[in-house]
């Protein structure tokens, strides 16, 4: 055979597949270019990761999860290359007269598709590694449309043109087959949607559904100022508790108290990431309700520090995968291609550690979490649903949030934007529950697990701190769980509202000013449902307040407690140094089997020794215990101005009994000046 004849030999059906796969791999490497350039940062310090491991890396679940992630993201990019190859084959058949080889068609589609991916990523994921530099360009209108919109229109038009011409060139019987297949697929989709529609059962004759909707770090003053209109509308129709506090301003201890009616030091859940063996909750609210015929659900969009799972009594958990892998994988799950599929069903399949996960803030779409919960609730039995939204938690940004990385000057504004977006999630989720029939007969509790300090003067109690607020450590004035001298950290939103048939249980709306705590919610729900749990609670039932009782002496005379959590040196809301991270990681270990990040047992005593504790009596009296700096662990007692001597003595005794505190001698004990 001559050389000329050989050159005219038809290409095999699979020609170009290898090149397509290589192009997909090249796209992956280029997508990691900026991330790899940041390998010097604290987040990539592998010695820090290694210090948390108790077994060789390859013997851990973390290693397995990283390998699965690597396989998934590689397969996705290779799949993109194969899609370009398929379009090249269609173009080759659609335009046989074009002087373009299959390889040339492949390169054309690959570069066009990669360019569109960069534009789409920049438009939708402004905080991603390759989106941040190009976001303004991709989102700035040119001739009435943004470059991203122009690119999308061009890609769709080109793909549609190739497909239509290809179909037109097929034989008549093939065209009919394609049309029949498309029609069958359409009918199948309609039938699937109809058969999977929400089932609304007759809920009026059953016990009411119980729904807890939490918003992380939500401050009551921001709600009242109009930053959260959906939450405010809910509270306006509810019985609102205006003076509500959390027993500990961190998510996990707060939620365990909510779900048990017990103080963190009763259950042992007094900090995030404690080993489960140290926590003894007793019967939880979901366990009790399950025993009385309820189906129980737990949903949360960030689980790195609040490791609540089915073991606490939930039949189904609607969360991202819990484990230390979140901390590593979320850094690398940031390529233009993976970002574009992350919030879809394909992203849920390929990237379970990142999909609908607030921890991966550069790709997090708030709507993805609402979709995860909406439609997943089966109402053939009474429902207990817990859902928690964490957007107002640091760093206050998400995939398409406006602004860049927040610094100290922009934190209040960025926090306000996060509150507003979480409020929209709250409204969307409430609307979805109504569509699904959950609210036909329901008691709904809206709450925040804690507040947030934003470094502002009115976030702190300057008169209560010896020497004045100016002498307080800067880290106490930011975040939550950092200081009991900051009321905005432990004051919370709390409102309880009845829907449908449940309205017969208590009238609303109303505003109550009695001192209450999140630890009161479990006894309240059981009281409303007339369920005798046969156990004691640290909290008090709020049912009398919901029903409009006027006698509230038992609330006015109660002592409520709150405290700080672990706050390592070098941590600020706006800054994290490598040395501070390395020091903090020393107290944690990564369980090789469960992939859970856990506090080391030998670190707990020193953490507790550094805490601040506070006791509140009624609406005004307050006392604080802080470390005295002595080797014997004694604490200084501070009587906050406005607290009389008799109340101070009672608060002092309450702190001693609740926390086992031993106070310093009288010479070292003094009221605040």
CA distance 543 to 541: 5
In a domain, 328, yes or no: no
- Are residues 329 and 347 in contact, defined by beta-carbon separation less than 8 angstroms? no
* pLDDT tier, 199 (very low <50, low <70, confident <90, very high otherwise): very low
State whether 191 and 227 are in the same domain: no
Distance between alpha carbon 532 and the CA centroid of its chain, in Å?
33
CA distance 254 to 198: 33
- Digit-coded pLDDT (tens) for 54-70: 778 788 888 899 999 99
| Domain end residue (candidates: 195, 222, 254) | 195
State whether 50 and 139 are in the same domain: yes
In a domain, 636, yes or no: no
CA distance 643 to 647: 6
Determine the pLDDT at residue 139.
Answer: 80
State whether 163 and 282 are in the same domain: no
CA distance 314 to 288: 11
| Domain end residue (candidates: 142, 171, 195) | 195
Mean pLDDT within 489-510: 95
- Digit-coded pLDDT (tens) for 440-461: 999 999 999 999 999 887 888 8
Cβ density class 59-87: b for 16+ within 10 Å, e for less: ebbbbebbebbeebbeebbbbbbbebbeb
CA distance 15 to 563: 67
CA distance 596 to 326: 10
State whether 73 and 164 are in the same domain: yes
State whether 373 and 510 are in the same domain: yes
- Digit-coded pLDDT (tens) for 592-627: 888 888 899 999 998 899 899 999 998 889 999 998
Q: Given the structure tokens 């470390």, which residue do they identify?
A: 627
Q: What is the SS3 assignment for 376?
A: coil
Partner residues linked to 479 by β-bridges: 453
Mean pLDDT within 541-568: 90
- Digit-coded pLDDT (tens) for 155-198: 999 888 888 888 877 766 555 665 566 556 555 544 443 433 33
The values of phi and psi at residue 560, to 5°, are -105, 150
Above 60 in pLDDT, residue 368?
yes
**Position with higher pLDDT, 87 vs 54:** 87
In a domain, 31, yes or no: yes
* pLDDT tier, 118 (very low <50, low <70, confident <90, very high otherwise): very high
Nearest to 416 by CA among 460, 446, 456: 456
**Position with higher pLDDT, 160 vs 245:** 245
295-300 and 316-319 strand pairing: parallel
Listed ranges 352-356, 373-377, 646-650; the one with the highest mean pLDDT = 646-650
* pLDDT tier, 42 (very low <50, low <70, confident <90, very high otherwise): very low
State whether 484 and 431 are in the same domain: yes
State whether 191 and 214 are in the same domain: no
In a domain, 644, yes or no: no
Kindly report the three-state secondary structure assignment for every residue of 505-565.
CCCCCEEEEEEEEHHHHHHHHHHHCCCCCCCCCCCCCCHHHHCCCCCCHHHHCCEEEEECC
CA distance 460 to 482: 11
**Position with higher pLDDT, 420 vs 670:** 420
Determine the pLDDT at residue 134.
Answer: 80
Mean pLDDT within 95-102: 87
Collect all residues with Cβ–Cβ distance below 8 Å to 324 and sequence separation of at least 6: 52, 62, 590, 591, 595, 596, 597
Determine the pLDDT at residue 242.
Answer: 96
In a domain, 411, yes or no: yes
Mean pLDDT within 458-480: 78
State whether 17 and 146 are in the same domain: yes
Partner residues linked to 72 by β-bridges: none
Kindly report the three-state secondary structure assignment for every residue of 159-178.
HHHHHHHHHHCCCHHHHHHH
Mean pLDDT of the chain: 86
Determine the pLDDT at residue 6.
Answer: 44
In a domain, 388, yes or no: yes
In a domain, 96, yes or no: yes
Determine the pLDDT at residue 582.
Answer: 64
Mean pLDDT within 318-337: 86
* pLDDT tier, 48 (very low <50, low <70, confident <90, very high otherwise): low
State whether 218 and 154 are in the same domain: no
Total count of domains within the chain: 2
Per-residue tokens: 186: 């359409």
Share of the chain above pLDDT 90, in %: 55
State whether 88 and 181 are in the same domain: yes
CA distance 303 to 376: 19
Per-residue tokens: 478: 């930011």
Share of the chain above pLDDT 70, in %: 85
Helix (H) or strand (E) holding 331: helix 325-332
Geometric angle at alpha carbon 622, from 618 and 626, rounded to 5°: 150
| Domain end residue (candidates: 526, 542, 558) | 558
State whether 224 and 182 are in the same domain: no
Above 60 in pLDDT, residue 241?
yes
239-245 and 491-492 strand pairing: antiparallel
CA distance 241 to 100: 72
**Position with higher pLDDT, 107 vs 171:** 107
Report the sign of the C-alpha dihedral through residues 388, 392, 394, 397, in that order.
positive
Geometric angle at alpha carbon 597, from 391 and 129, rounded to 5°: 50
Per-residue tokens: 459: 């976030």
Range in 35-39, 440-444, 502-506 with the lowest mean pLDDT: 35-39
Collect all residues with Cβ–Cβ distance below 8 Å to 252 and sequence separation of at least 6: 269, 271, 272, 273, 305, 306, 307, 308
CA distance 334 to 342: 9
Provide the residue range defining the domain that includes 92: 13-195
State whether 67 and 153 are in the same domain: yes
In a domain, 337, yes or no: no
* pLDDT tier, 667 (very low <50, low <70, confident <90, very high otherwise): very low
CA distance 545 to 530: 16
Kindly report the CATH number assigned to the domain that includes residue 217. 3.40.720.10
Prediction pTM value: 0.88
Q: For the chain, how far is it from start to end, CA to CA, in angstroms?
A: 103
- Digit-coded pLDDT (tens) for 516-532: 999 999 999 999 999 99
Tally of residues, the chain:
673
């Amino acid at each position: 055979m001559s050389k000329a004849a050989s050159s005219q030999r038809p290409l095999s059906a699979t020609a170009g597949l290898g090149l397509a796969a290589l192009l997909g791999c090249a796209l992956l490497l280029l997508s990691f270019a900026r991330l790899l350039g940041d390998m010097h940062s604290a987040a990539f310090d592998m010695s820090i990761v290694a210090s948390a491991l108790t077994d060789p890396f390859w013997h851990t679940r973390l290693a397995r999860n990283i390998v699965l992630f690597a396989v998934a993201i590689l397969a996705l990019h290779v799949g993109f290359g194969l899609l370009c190859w398929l379009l090249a084959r269609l173009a080759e058949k659609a335009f046989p007269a074009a002087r373009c080889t299959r390889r040339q068609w492949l390169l054309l589609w690959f570069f066009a598709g990669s360019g569109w991916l960069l534009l789409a990523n920049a438009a939708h994921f402004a905080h991603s590694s390759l989106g941040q530099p190009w976001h303004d360009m991709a989102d700035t209108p040119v001739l009435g449309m943004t470059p991203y919109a122009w690119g999308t229109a061009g890609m769709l038009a080109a793909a549609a043109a190739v497909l239509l011409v290809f179909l037109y060139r097929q034989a008549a019987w093939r065209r009919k087959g394609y049309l029949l297949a498309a029609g069958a697929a359409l009918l199948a989709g309609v039938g699937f949607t109809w058969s999977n529609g929400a089932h609304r059962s007759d809920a009026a004759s059953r016990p009411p559904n119980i729904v807890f909707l939490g918003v992380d770090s939500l401050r009551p003053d921001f709600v009242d100022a109009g930053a959260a209109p959906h939450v405010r509308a809910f509270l306006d129709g509810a019985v609102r508790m205006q003076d509500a506090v959390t027993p500990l301003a961190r998510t996990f201890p707060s939620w365990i108290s909510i779900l048990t009616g017990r103080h963190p030091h009763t259950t042992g859940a007094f900090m995030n990431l404690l080993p489960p063996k140290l926590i003894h909750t007793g019967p939880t609210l979901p366990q009790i309700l399950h025993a009385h015929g309820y189906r129980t659900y737990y949903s949360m969009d960030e689980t790195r520090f609040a490791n609540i799972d089915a073991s606490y009594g939930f039949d189904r958990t609607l969360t991202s995968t819990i484990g230390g892998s979140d901390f590593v994988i979320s850094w690398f799950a940031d390529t233009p291609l993976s970002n574009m599929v992350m919030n879809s069903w394909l992203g849920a399949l390929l990237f379970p550690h990142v999909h609908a996960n607030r921890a991966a803030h550069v790709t997090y779409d708030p709507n993805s979490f609402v979709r995860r919960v909406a439609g997943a609730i089966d109402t053939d039995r009474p429902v207990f649903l817990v859902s928690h939204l964490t957007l107002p938690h640091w760093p206050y940004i998400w995939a398409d949030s406006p602004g860049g990385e927040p610094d100290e000057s922009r934190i209040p504004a960025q926090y306000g934007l996060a509150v507003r977006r979480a409020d929209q999630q709250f409204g969307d989720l409430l609307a979805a529950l109504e569509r699904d029939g959950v609210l036909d007969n329901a008691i709904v509790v809206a709450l925040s697990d804690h507040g947030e300090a934003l470094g502002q003067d009115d976030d702190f109690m300057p008169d209560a701190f010896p020497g004045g607020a100016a002498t307080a450590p800067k880290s106490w004035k930011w975040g939550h769980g950092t200081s009991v001298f900051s009321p905005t950290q432990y004051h919370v939103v709390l409102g309880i509202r009845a829907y449908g048939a449940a309205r017969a249980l208590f009238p609303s709306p109303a505003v109550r000013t009695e001192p209450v705590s999140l630890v009161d919610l479990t006894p309240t729900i059981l009281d409303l449902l007339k369920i005798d749990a046969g156990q004691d609670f640290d909290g008090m039932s709020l049912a009398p307040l919901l029903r409009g009782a006027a006698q509230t002496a038992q609330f006015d005379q109660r002592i409520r407690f709150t405290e700080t959590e672990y706050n390592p040196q070098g941590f600020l809301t706006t800054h994290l140094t490598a040395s501070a991270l390395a020091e903090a990681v020393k107290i944690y270990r990564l369980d090789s089997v469960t992939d859970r990040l856990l506090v080391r047992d030998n670190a707990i005593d020193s953490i507790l020794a550094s805490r601040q504790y506070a006791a509140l009596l009624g609406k005004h009296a307050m006392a604080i215990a802080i470390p005295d700096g002595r080797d014997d662990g004694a604490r200084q007692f501070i009587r906050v101005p406005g607290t009389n001597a008799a109340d101070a003595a009672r608060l002092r005794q309450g702190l001693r009994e609740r926390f086992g505190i031993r106070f310093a001698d009288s010479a070292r004990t003094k009221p605040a000046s």
